[in-house]
Amino acid sequence: MITFDQAIDSVMQLPTDQQEMLINIFYRRLMEKNRKEIAADAKKSIAAFHAGRLKPQPVQEIILELRNTLNAEKAL
C-alpha cells in the first residue's frame, strides 16, 4: 500500500492536463458518493417517519434547532 505522500508525489509527476483530469474525476466521484449517502440518509429518515419514530415539527422549531447546532459548532 502506498502512503498519502507517495500518492501525491506520483500525481505531481503527471503532466498538468492529466493532473486536472484526475482532480475532476475525484471530484465527480466524491460528489456521487455524497449524493448516495444523502439518499441513504433520506430513505432511513422516511422509513423512521413512517414507523412512527419521527414526528412532524413546526418549521420554526427546525430552524431554531439548526441555528443552535450551527452556533454550537462555531463556538468550538
Q: How far is CA 64 from the centre of its chain?
A: 23
pTM over 0.85: no
Residue position matching grid coordinates 439548526: 66
pLDDT over threshold 90, residue 55: no
In angstroms, the first-to-last Cα distance of the chain is: 35
Spell out a b/e string for 25-46, using b for 16 or more CB atoms within 10 Å of the CB, else e: eeeeeeeeeeeeeeeeeeeeee
Task: State the Cα–Cα distance between residues 59 and 57, nearest whole angstrom.
Answer: 6
Reported as a single tens digit per residue, the pLDDT across 26-40 is 999 999 999 999 999
